[in-house]
């Protein structure tokens, strides 16, 4: 693809970066304490938090990955996202008040209160590694797309975007991140709608032809619908999506931190529902863009050998007018900035709350705030370096690195959370045994299902013959959670029943709710 950006497009992109930096300076004066820096308590309305959650969950992966998948396949990868609101509606009512009542800042404080120090550090370390892996992926995808579209040096792109994100977080804290998310969330919607509308009416036959041709060529629907866990099927994506929803909205610091930022429990719940109800349409929109691209390029010539994830950038550069190209690229950059800004702020929050305060207790809040800002800088630089390493590894290397970190360090987090929430019998010793068992299983499954090298029949890292793990890798995470739940609960029976603060349990939430309702009824009787 020959870079064809006009000076107007460059001006639009530069303006976006300057506006982004302005958010950091706008809120810099308010960052006088760690509470303001990380949760901006009682200063952000629910609708803004909802938009922030939308922007946090949307990144370069959505902007580039979903159109690429829609171009090369059907809509099966949407199933995971469609499961999120179904699960969220059932659990958000007690997850939000739980966290707002029992933790100060870090999500993983709950894990320690429920199951001890090991559970806290295992879960927080898993989060840190997932965040760095994810941030590296976002940088990588953004750099590849912009390099192919502008001809700029990939590492220069990563460095500029990374430094802008560091400055915004360093100066403005979470409040700047949230209001930046609001601004860039509207850009994201607008860019997706523009591209989809142009595509629909560029196809011969219009919108009806898009859906008819897509269906005829296997680009519509969510199948296969087989009850088969060895390949990517609807049931695999649905089960994985249910656990993803709990992990993201129940154990992820970037989301839980938004609960703490809200003014009330009701505001946090409203923001969460708003965020996901906006996110699902965005995922769907960009998947449908890929479907429309498939139909469009069946009617138009496309360079041979072009990768599926390069088709959308190619369309933008060759079919959209000057100015619109700059706006779309600015929206693409903004999607990455929003996601990365939230990641960076939450990494610093976990770093201070879970680690620095443990090793350096009894410091003043001013000293902790200073440490927080240093952690923002260090975390940002590390993520830039990881993005640069991904560029050297290539796309296959990126996927391998990300999957390795998720497989080894994410396993069982939902299992720990569900045991802590639902079982008063589960205890520290039993959960620790469950986690160790989960780690062993995850290592076995990964090693016996991951090939070395290329070719039709590559060797596995470890080949155990008929005992190799043969199910789809998305099921590995599901099994790891189930192992922690099963082994953790059974092992807990061999140790004394723990004494638990009822506020840490779902049953405690139910009891508090009943008491609140009873008190309300008594007040009504007295008034009458």
DSSP alpha helix (H) spans, 410-470: 413-422, 428-447
- DSSP run (H or E) holding 452: strand 451-452
State the Cα angle at 406 between 403 and 409, rounded to 5°: 140
Residue 465 counted as domain residue:
no
Total of domains in the chain: 1
> What are the backbone angles phi and psi of residue 451, rounded to the nearest 5°?
-80, 155
Q: Which of 235, 244, 236, 257 is CA-nearest to residue 86?
A: 244
Residue 469 counted as domain residue:
no
Residue 201 counted as domain residue:
yes
Q: pLDDT value at position 170?
A: 84
Range of the domain at 19: 7-393
Q: Which residues of the chain have pLDDT under 50?
A: 1, 396-400, 403
Asked if 205 and 75 touch (Cβ cutoff 8 Å), the reply is no
Asked if 259 and 104 touch (Cβ cutoff 8 Å), the reply is no
Residue 303 counted as domain residue:
yes
Asked if 390 and 137 touch (Cβ cutoff 8 Å), the reply is yes
Q: pLDDT value at position 456?
A: 65
How many of the other CB atoms lie within 10 Å of CB of 11?
A: 12
Q: Which of 268, 242, 240 is CA-nearest to residue 94?
A: 268
Q: In DSSP terms, which residues pair with 32 in a beta bridge? A: none
C-alpha to C-alpha distances, 106 to 118, 179, 250, 347, nearest whole angstrom: 15, 22, 12, 10
Q: How far apart are CA 307 and CA 382, in angstroms?
A: 29
> What are the backbone angles phi and psi of residue 264, rounded to the nearest 5°?
-140, 170
Q: How far apart are CA 75 and CA 309, in angstroms?
A: 15
Q: In DSSP terms, which residues pair with 459 in a beta bridge? A: 452
Residue 527 counted as domain residue:
no
Q: pLDDT value at position 524?
A: 67
Domain CATH number, residue 71: 1.20.1730.10
Residue 518 counted as domain residue:
no
Q: pLDDT value at position 60?
A: 66
Q: Which of 266, 246, 161, 214 is CA-nearest to residue 477?
A: 246
Q: pLDDT value at position 400?
A: 45
SS3 labels along 488-527: HHHHHCCCCCCCCCHHHCHHHHHHHHHHHHHHHHHHHHHH
Residue 476 counted as domain residue:
no
Residue 498 counted as domain residue:
no
Percent of the chain scoring above 90 in pLDDT? 32
Q: pLDDT value at position 112?
A: 95
């Amino acid at each position: 693809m020959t870079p064809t950006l006009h000076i107007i497009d460059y001006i639009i992109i530069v303006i976006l970066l300057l506006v982004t930096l302005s958010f950091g300076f706008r809120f810099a004066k308010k960052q006088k304490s760690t509470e303001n820096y990380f949760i901006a308590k009682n200063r952000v309305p629910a609708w803004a938090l909802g938009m922030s959650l939308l922007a946090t969950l949307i990144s370069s992966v959505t902007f580039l990955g979903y159109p690429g998948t829609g171009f090369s396949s059907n809509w099966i990868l949407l199933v995971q996202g469609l499961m999120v609101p179904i699960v969220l509606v059932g659990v958000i009512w007690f997850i939000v008040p739980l966290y707002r009542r029992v933790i100060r800042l870090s999500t993983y404080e709950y894990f320690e209160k429920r199951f001890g120090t090991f559970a806290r550090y295992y879960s927080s370390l898993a989060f840190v590694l997932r965040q760095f892996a994810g941030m590296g992926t976002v940088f990588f995808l953004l750099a590849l797309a912009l390099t192919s579209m502008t001809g700029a040096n990939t590492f220069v792109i990563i460095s500029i975007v990374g430094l802008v994100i560091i400055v915004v977080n360093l100066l403005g804290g979470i409040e700047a991140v949230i209001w930046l998310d609001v601004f860039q969330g509207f850009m994201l919607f607008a860019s997706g709608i523009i591209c989809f509308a142009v595509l629909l009416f560029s196809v011969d036959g219009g919108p009806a032809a898009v859906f008819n041709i897509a269906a005829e060529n296997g680009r519509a629907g969510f199948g296969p619908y087989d009850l088969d866990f060895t390949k990517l099927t609807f049931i695999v994506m649905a089960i994985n999506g249910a656990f993803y929803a709990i992990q993201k909205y129940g154990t992820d610091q970037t989301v839980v931190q938004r609960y703490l930022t809200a003014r009330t429990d009701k505001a946090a719940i409203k923001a969460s529902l708003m965020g996901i109800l906006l996110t699902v349409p965005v995922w769907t929109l960009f998947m449908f863009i890929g479907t429309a691209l498939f139909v469009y390029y069946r009617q138009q010539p496309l360079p041979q050998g072009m990768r599926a994830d390069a088709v959308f950038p190619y369309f933008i550069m060759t079919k959209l007018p000057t100015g619109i190209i700059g706006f779309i690229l600015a929206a693409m950059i903004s999607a990455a900035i929003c996601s990365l800004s939230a990641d960076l702020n939450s990494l610093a929050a976990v770093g201070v709350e879970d680690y620095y305060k443990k090793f350096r207790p009894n410091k003043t809040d001013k000293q902790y705030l200073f440490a927080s800002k240093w952690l923002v800088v260090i975390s940002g630089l590390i993520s830039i370096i990881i993005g640069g390493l991904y560029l050297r590894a290539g796309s296959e290397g990126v996927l391998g690195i990300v999957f390795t970190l998720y497989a080894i360090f994410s396993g069982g987090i939902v299992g720990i959370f569900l045991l802590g929430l639902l079982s008063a019998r589960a205890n520290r010793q039993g959960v620790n045994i469950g986690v160790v068992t989960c780690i062993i299983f995850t290592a076995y499954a990964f090693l016996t299902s991951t090939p070395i090298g290329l070719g039709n029949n590559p060797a596995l890292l470890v080949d155990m013959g008929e005992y190799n793990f043969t199910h789809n890798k998305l099921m590995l995470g599901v099994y790891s959670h189930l192992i922690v739940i099963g082994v953790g609960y059974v092992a807990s029976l061999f140790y004394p029943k723990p004494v638990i603060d009822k506020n840490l349990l779902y049953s405690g939430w139910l009891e508090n709710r009943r008491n609140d309702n009873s008190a309300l009824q008594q007040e009504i009787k007295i008034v009458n």
